Structure 1
Amino acid sequence: MATGQPVATVYVRNLEERVKPEPLKEALRAIFSEYGNIIDIVAKTNLKAKGQAFIVFEDPESAANAIEEVQGFELFEKPMQLQLARTRSDATVLQTGNEEEFDAHKRRRIAEKDKKKALESAEEQKRLTRPIQGVPADIARPAKNVRGAGLKPTGAGPAAVVPDEYLPPNRILFVQNLPEGFDKDALTDIFSRFEGFREVRMVPGRSGIAFVEYEAEAGAITAKENTAGMALRDGEKTMKVTYQRQ
């Protein structure tokens, strides 16, 4: 567990995916409120996370009791699968009233999410480029029609390339889609607001792109979260901000 602190959140799986979020949360609250004070219920609605929810209790003991007592209980004719969440929820951290702790918690969560996306994207790329069993590699893979591309040895598959949006966090940001003449000073005004800012590096001979470096990964995560998609010069362009490819 990342924080080393007790977790008061129950992770629920195997929920009926056809039930809408609000009725689902009402049913979960009716069942779990018997075991303690609930401060939040998060029911996932995106396609990948359907059938899952998080029950956030006020104290860890309530969460543990709920898991012990409700494990396997049928809701909408499906047995619920319960376990403690891996990390504390946003609602739990907010209870402390410590803004600095909450910001650090949020940065960790965003970093974990970005790393997970990067891994999933890399796996998908590998799956798509894996040769079909029993079929010669040069037939199973579509040929690349790119001028100047080097030839690969027979049977060597193309490397899995992670899209920019799913690159794992690091302390250097890659900034793209900048308006003509948008210089180092203008970028410094934007990115120096975030903790640990070190410098902006323009690319000689290349307009529209730059690198922004921070002392630590946490500063870069916060900066990316707050600047990606920012409109520049009266909406002339929106800035694209990703992590530097390692």
Structure 2
Amino acid sequence: MAVDNGEPPPSATVYVKNLSEKPKIPALIEALREVFEEFGTIVDIVAKKNLKAKGQAFVVYDSVESAGDAIEELQDFDLFEKPMSLAYARTRSDTTVKREDDKEKFEQHKKHRLAEKERKQALEAANQKPAKRPATDGLAERPAKSAKPAPSAAGGLVPDEYLPPNRTIVLQNLPEDYTKDNIAIIFSRFPGYKEVRTVPGRKGLAFVEYEDENASITAKEETSGMTLGENVVKVTYQRQ
């Protein structure tokens, strides 16, 4: 099957978009399985309910040939009264890497994917201008809680403060001289702490990972709005 220049190379994963957002995720996955299993053995189907991923899914086959046949035969096929748009996925799925590579390569794949995700978040954060206020005594003081406005759906993007829990929290507007060790001193005191990650060349931004969402929820609630030096640090969950 020919692939136009600039398109992703053939892979065992089919990227599906323009899906209806009406059905619930379990029903959508079941419908995709029924439609796509005709062309080969399906090893995984990934579809998420967060706003950025709505209307999209990934169907992972056990062979590139099956994925190619599905793309050719199902292009513009109506599912829930909407024509699907199909293409090869730009990166191999975790399931495919785990099946085809050894454990070390799989871990490298996950780290690369996470680094790319955090790089994109760093670019988004660069366009935001967090508020500042004077510190009163130095390390970390939490401001009084106030009522939050209702989340806006403008542009289809959930505001940072209304993101669902994630085991990784994002810190923005950190003092530029704060190192990983400085950040770890604050966040390692919460149970479930794993590590701090920073983005090379992007000051004021860090990611703190915990073992599970319960641990990150505790850390976020205890540090939201804290002041470090003259900076009011913005603490949010990482986007899915």
Provide the TM-score with structure 2 as the length reference.
Answer: 0.55
The CA deviation at 1:65 is 1.3
Deviation, structure 1 residue 93 = 1.1
* Partner Cα separation in structure 2 for residue 61 and residue 16 of structure 1: 27
Q: 1:31 aligns with which of 30, 35, 45?
A: 35
| Corresponding position: 1:49 with 2:53 | yes
Contact 2:10 2:68 in 1 (8 A): no
| Aligned counterpart, 1:98 | 102
Task: Output the CA distance in 2 between the equivalents of 1:229 and 1:21.
Answer: 21
Judged with a 3 Å threshold, the aligned counterparts in structure 2 of structure 1 residues 103 and 35 are, in CA distance, closer, same or farther, namely same
Deviation at 1:224, TM superposition (A): 5.5
Unaligned runs of 5+ in 2: 1-7, 136-169, 201-206, 225-234, 236-240
Q: Secondary structure at the match of 1:176?
A: helix
Alignment match of 2:17 (pick from 13, 22, 25) = 13
Relative to 1, partners in 2 of residues 1:69 and 1:212: Cα closer, same or farther, differing over 3 Å?
closer
Identity %: 47
Structure 1: 5+ residue stretches without partners:
130-141, 148-162, 183-189, 192-210, 217-222
Q: Which has the larger radius of gyration?
A: 1
Equivalence for 1:176: 183
State how far apart, in whole Å, the 2-side matches of 1:12 and 1:95 are: 22
The answer as to 2:66 corresponding to 1:62 is yes
In the alignment, residue 26 of structure 1 is paired with which amino acid? E
8 A contact 2:25–2:48 mirrored in 1: yes
- Do 2:15 and 2:58's aligned partners in 1 also have CA atoms closer than 8 Å? yes
3-state DSSP class of the match of 1:178? helix
Query: Following TM superposition, by how much is the alpha carbon of 1:229 offset from its aligned partner in structure 2, in angstroms?
Result: 9.0
Give the root-mean-square deviation of aligned CA atoms: 4.2
List per-residue Cα deviations over 1:151-170 (Å, max 9, x = no partner): xxxxxxxxxxxx73599xxx
Q: Please give the alpha-carbon distance, in whole angstroms, between the structure 2 residues aligned to 1:7 and 1:212.
A: 31
Deviation at 1:178, TM superposition (A): 2.4
Relative to 1, partners in 2 of residues 1:66 and 1:165: Cα closer, same or farther, differing over 3 Å?
farther
What's the offset of the Cα at 1:120?
2.6
Q: What is the CA distance between 1:7 and its match in structure 2?
A: 2.1
Q: Matched residues in 2 for 1:64 and 1:165: separation?
A: 43
* Between 73-82 and 90-99, the greater mean CA deviation after superposition: 90-99
Q: Does 1:164 align with 2:153?
A: no
Question: Structure 2 CA distance, aligned partners of 1:229 and 1:25?
Answer: 25
Pair 1:227–1:60, CA change in 2 (3 A): same
Structure 1, residues 107-160: CA drift from partner, whole Å, max 9, x if none? 01101111112223334x38xx9xxxxxxxxxxxx9x8879xxxxxxxxxxxxx
Q: How does the TM-score come out when normalised to structure 1?
A: 0.54
Kindly state the Cα deviation for residue 173 of structure 1 after the two structures are TM-superposed. Answer: 3.5
| Structure 1 residue aligned with 2:121 | 117
Q: How far did residue 29 of structure 1 move?
A: 0.4
Question: How many angstroms apart in 2 are the aligned matches of 1:99 and 1:225?
Answer: 21
User: SS state of the match for residue 17, structure 1?
Assistant: coil
Whole-angstrom CA distance in 2 between matches of 1:43 and 1:176: 34
Contact 2:14 2:89 in 1 (8 A): yes
Distance 1:165 1:101, change over 3 A: farther
How far the C-alpha of 1:13 sits from its partner, in A, is 0.6
2:18–2:55 Cα contact (<8 Å) kept: yes
